[in-house]
Structure 1
Amino acid sequence: MIGYLNLILRLAIWFLLTANFSVANIIIGVAVAFLLPGSPKSRAALKDWLRALGKILIAIPQAYVEAFEIIFRPHTQEEVTLERVPPRRTPGLIFLDIFLITFTPKTIVLKYREDGWYEVHRVRRRKT
């Protein structure tokens, strides 16, 4: 089941990069998704994938709220924080984590550290 989720993630990235849904591009995308090497040493649990996808669904309305907050109440404070990567993360789940953090307008991942941390840039309102 996890293999299918990796395949779907690869195809989604392919379609986001190309923005082309022609038959030829779909065939090329499927070929690229199958030809990319996988990581046989670490297996992700289905519940980790479902939890990550659930967080992304929650992040969509949160992104709209944060966008309106930035428009109507400017945020002038910036900070860089470290967030721990959850344990047993495959490269696909790490990508989804980074996507989740970067999707919201107030945060962006600056760097993924190999020692298990994300460097996250945040904007905040000025404290009065």
Structure 2
Amino acid sequence: MIGYLDIILRLTIWFLLTADLSSTNIIIGVAVALLLPHSATAPSPVRDWMRALGETLRAIPQAYFEAFEIILRPHKDEDTTMERVKPQRSPGLIFLDIFLITFTPKTIVLKYHQQGWYEVHWVKRRKRK
């Protein structure tokens, strides 16, 4: 079951990058998804994938809210923090975590550290004194 989730993730990324659902592109996408190297780590449980799907669905309205907030009340302060990767994440789920952090307008992952940390850049509103 998990192997199918990895292939679906790869195909989704392929279709988002190419924006083409022609039969030729579908065949190429399936070939690319199957030929890319697979992770040597243990696959993540289905509940982790479902949790990631829920986080993705929650990130969409959050991204719109943050975009309007930045437009209406400009954010001038910046900060960089280190955030811990959730334990025992597969490379596919780590990719989704990085995608979700970067998807919202106020944050972007600058670097993923192999020791299990994300370096995250934040845009923040200046606190009133």
> TM (normalized to structure 1)?
0.97
What is the number of equivalent residue pairs in this alignment? Answer: 128
Partner of 2:35: 35
Over aligned residue pairs, what C-alpha RMSD do you find? 0.8
Gaps of 5+ in 2: none
Partner of 2:88: 88
Q: Which moved more, 1:30-39 or 1:67-76?
A: 30-39
- 1:94-105 to 2 correspondence within 5 Å? 94-105=94-105
Gaps of 5+ in 1: none
Matched residues in 1 for 2:124 and 2:15: separation?
33
Q: Does 1:54 align with 2:54?
A: yes
SS at match of 2:52: helix
Q: After superposition, give the CA deviation of every residue in 1:89-118 in whole Å (9 maximum; x if it has no partner).
A: 111000000011011000000000001100
Amino-acid identity (%):
71
Matched residues in 1 for 2:102 and 2:41: separation?
27
SS at match of 2:87: coil
Matched residues in 2 for 1:81 and 1:58: separation?
22
Partner of 1:77: 77
Q: CA deviation at 1:37?
A: 1.8
Partner of 1:8: 8
Q: Does 1:127 align with 2:127?
A: yes
Matched residues in 2 for 1:13 and 1:26: separation?
12
Partner of 2:110: 110
Q: CA deviation at 1:18?
A: 1.2
Amino acid at match of 1:83: E
Amino acid at match of 2:75: H
Amino acid at match of 1:66: E
Partner of 1:26: 26
